[in-house]
Structure 1
């Protein structure tokens, strides 16, 4: 299971707060911790722990945070030969409430220095992989180039369209699996996703644009999936959430593994749901996943 991953690498500065701070307010944090993060890195670490050979294409800064982030990826079994150094490492300032909710301020740093030219240099790596996994925390032109190369070689392309932004049809037509959440689905389609009928209509619109399968993550309401052959719901698992940071990333990393090892779509989503449910019971976006969850 070789997965090429184009995405972001951050250092997360996490502050535990009673509630998300209001405009003009100063709020004391009850604790502070530093974790390795970034949507790309989070997904890579999860997929690697689940047995995939993950080859990361991205950038960190020429700073101590960059060294820390690269050492973390290497320690978690992620291949980092295609990670370059430039500028300052990306950072996320994260408030986590007692209820497990979060609010995030993102500084992209070196992530926005990942260029289409860098992707072209890694064309052989992408073409040799079974799947390409991406998010939107690097420039959109960079994402387009990676998807273009993967599509030319008939690879599975999994795009998590987060943070939310409008995507051109020329990109969507080459996406094998698109994994928006409820808000991102509404932004992509212009359809309010307040009812099941609306969710189905929004997914159908994306299929008409050429997306192979849409998997919508809906938090406590579970997930909805749809392609030309099948559609359905997968229930969420009830857990005591400690930190929801990285839940979607865990879902995407695990989904990619399930798909690459040949599991059915529904089984892959159920597996991703289980992994994500475990991750939210731990602090930080990259916890060690026990064998009992992997099995």
Structure 2
């Protein structure tokens, strides 16, 4: 495993998760089968995935000065990151998410209060310039204020750091920002919103990827759930099949995919190699409960990938 340096800028949330047989209807109370509290947020999840998938990781985020913020510091200090830059505010709470997980397919419904995640200032981002410039790869998402994301990406562009943007949760992104992205990783819904092309299968994903290339995005990975992931770069497309799983909780699966993908790219692997590994990594994550806590190790994902290749 070649260890690359990944800088992850993104949200930290405290997740409160309840598992149940079915989602409640309006006015209905449902007895949960189980519940748990743990670290989450797309930034924190993807940073943990990148770390456990083998990268050296510098995580950058922001929390409130409250009990949830204290939890965040303890979690991040003990995670094993190369470095953590954690800003704080007394004016807003630490981001948090209420998550319902239901049914045999472990689908989820999530309500997020972003709190401090939406208050990252230009001055705070500027303090992170050395960390962004030192990284092989920057991984970021859209669960922070867009102004901060734009500045982080501008710094990475100046430093010639490879930029991966996971456009989730969806915000409208200016074309000028898209043109700075080396790799964009939308799902079908986000791809539809970004391009105006309804994406529901491989052929529509190909058309949408072509539209994103016209906007300046150099490479695209469209995640299509059970259909796999469509890779589009350098005028060529390829489908990476989804690795089978017996899901228990799909909450952090896309974050697992993105973090694992980033770790492999930073380590010098090709986009096809990285996405194939990330598919196996995400499948393992789906079989575990929780988000950040469920991220598997590099060797576990490698074993799943080898087993999948043997069968196919």
- TM-score, normalization by structure 1: 0.96
Within 5 A, what are the aligned runs for 1:83-122? 83-86=86-89, 87-99=92-104, 100-122=106-128
Residue 78 of structure 1 aligns to a residue whose secondary structure is coil
CA RMSD of aligned residues (A): 1.4
Instruction: Please give the per-residue CA displacement for 1:55-77, whole angstroms capped at 9, x wherever unaligned.
Output: 11111111121121222122221
Shift of 1:197: 2.7
Q: Is there any run of 5+ residues in structure 2 with no aligned partner, and where?
A: 304-312
Matched with 1:2 is 5
Aligned residues: 295
Instruction: Please give the per-residue CA displacement for 1:220-249, whole angstroms capped at 9, x wherever unaligned.
Output: 111001022321101111111000010000
Question: How far apart are the structure 1 equivalents of 2:150 and 2:295?
Answer: 32
Pairing partner for 2:79 from 76, 79, 82: 76
Shift in alpha-carbon separation, 1:294–1:66, aligned structure 2, 3 A: farther
Contact 2:49 2:260 (8 Å CA) reproduced? yes
- TM-score, normalization by structure 2: 0.91
Matched with 1:159 is 165
Pairing partner for 2:269 from 260, 263, 288: 263
Contact 2:7 2:57 (8 Å CA) reproduced? yes
Stretches of 4+ moved more than 4 A in 1? none
Question: How far apart are the structure 2 equivalents of 1:265 and 1:285?
Answer: 24
Shift of 1:14: 0.2
Shift in alpha-carbon separation, 1:198–1:208, aligned structure 2, 3 A: same
Deviation larger for 9-18 or 113-122:
113-122
Question: How far apart are the structure 2 equivalents of 1:121 and 1:11?
Answer: 25
Q: Is there any run of 5+ residues in structure 1 with no aligned partner, and where?
A: none
Instruction: Please give the per-residue CA displacement for 1:119-161, whole angstroms capped at 9, x wherever unaligned.
Output: 1121121111111100100001111000011011111000000
Shift of 1:257: 0.9
The answer on 1:275 being equivalent to 2:281 is yes
Deviation larger for 118-127 or 34-43:
118-127
Shift of 1:288: 4.8
Matched with 1:289 is 296
Residue 48 of structure 2 aligns to a residue whose secondary structure is helix
Within 5 A, what are the aligned runs for 1:28-177? 28-86=31-89, 87-99=92-104, 100-177=106-183
Question: How far apart are the structure 2 equivalents of 1:266 and 1:212?
Answer: 15
The answer on 1:24 being equivalent to 2:27 is yes
Contact 1:177 1:214 (8 Å CA) reproduced? yes
Instruction: Please give the per-residue CA displacement for 1:265-295, whole angstroms capped at 9, x wherever unaligned.
Output: 1110000001100000000012252433246
The answer on 1:253 being equivalent to 2:259 is yes
Q: Select the structure with the greater relative contact order (CA < 8 A; seq sep ≥ 6).
A: 2
